[in-house]
Structure 1
């Protein structure tokens, strides 16, 4: 494994607290895989054969309804893992996973990790911690959909994107606007209106980049009283 893979493992909720020998053994028996943008990682209903950790890139988790509509469940970035709960229980994947940029993933065999949990209970506790991260993210997503306007959701998305970036004044959008709309639970035309409203708060969209004049002003908007009708 290269240094980026090791860094991703050490920074992930799933593996960060493992003793060094346990982590080294787990990484030595994992596989590094590359996926091109648009490539399927696994499909909803397939046997859960592995847990994945993102080293580089972005991954979309989604479900297809009986009507054929796509519902975006999560957009995951570097150091996030997915597939833990079902791989541990040897159940089918409840969602599909697709690379939405060129990706490098660490693939950990589900059967192997179940055997290692018996030998190292700390690994099981760490996997529970990783599933807790997913649960909290889903709770936050429900809160956003229920209590925040589309403008506020977009503002928070841009704030999260800017945090940790060396130049948060000009940010590359990590994926296309249709997918951003799906991730935020709004229609593409509503996303365009939300971007237009954010111009009054110092946000401009130029191609696939967002220019943010004042990050704190944008953060304040995201955290304002959810009942203010002018932001809806």
Structure 2
């Protein structure tokens, strides 16, 4: 990592409060790299050599069985992945690839394990990261079990609108085939779901979503004030 990059990285929530000496040891061994889109970062079953922290860009976590694959999560800045594997030194349960050009900090796993064990501030930050991951997957599983496919898509659109300050027109953050996989749908079902949402206040043209009636969409998708809030 270049000296000019250190202040930006030091200000990240995971590192901001930790001991400066310990932080400098991490930075001395870390790599900050820019990766092109569609680059696989690691595979399911691989031992974790690094903890990855996404600074800019977007990363897909996915897994598979035989010839079937499914998207598990979309990682957006600033977030680590996959801390549970890096800390326990257990094989990855998911693969990762970049969806866009992405700037990623890579910290050797043995170093981050030692630092977490010895720095209470970093330990708190690590616990927050793990808690975020746990809560994310509880929400995703609840969404999958309690909503029909069209409702899941409607709720996804509401959440994306909320991330953009209530914007009623925006582009989908990922390709439709990835979105379909993330929501547990086939591309064909996703296309039909977009058409069905026209009756609930959503118009889709290409990659652009327009919410014409937020109240109608919310009444249909039934966002939960606890499960669907960030954090």
Structure 1 and Structure 2 fold alike (TM over 0.5) = yes
Contact 1:17 1:126 in 2 (8 A): no
Equivalent position of 2:196 in the other structure: 197
Instruction: Normalising by structure 2, report the TM-score.
Output: 0.84
Structure 1, 192-201 or 179-188: larger mean CA deviation: 192-201
Equivalent position of 1:117 in the other structure: 116
Q: Does 1:106 align with 2:101?
A: no
Structure 1, 195-204 or 20-29: larger mean CA deviation: 20-29
Partners of 2:62 and 2:81 in 1: CA distance = 12
Equivalent position of 1:183 in the other structure: 182
Q: State the secondary structure of the residue aligned to 2:163.
A: coil
Q: Does 1:142 align with 2:132?
A: no
Count of paired positions: 219
Q: Does 1:62 align with 2:47?
A: no
Q: Does 1:158 align with 2:157?
A: yes
Partners of 2:22 and 2:218 in 1: CA distance = 37
Q: Does 1:49 align with 2:34?
A: no
Change (3 A) 1:222 1:18: farther
- Shift, 1:4, TM fit: 6.1
Contact 1:55 1:79 in 2 (8 A): yes
Name structure 1 gaps, 5 residues minimum: 226-232
Change (3 A) 1:5 1:167: farther
Equivalent position of 2:227 in the other structure: none
Change (3 A) 1:189 1:104: same
- Shift, 1:120, TM fit: 0.8
| Residues 153-172 of structure 1 deviation map (CA, whole Å, 9 limit, x = unaligned) | 11111122122325712211
Q: State the secondary structure of the residue aligned to 1:135.
A: helix
| Residues 98-130 of structure 1 deviation map (CA, whole Å, 9 limit, x = unaligned) | 111221112122111122123313322321221
Structure 1, 135-144 or 210-219: larger mean CA deviation: 210-219
| RMSD of equivalent CA atoms | 2.4
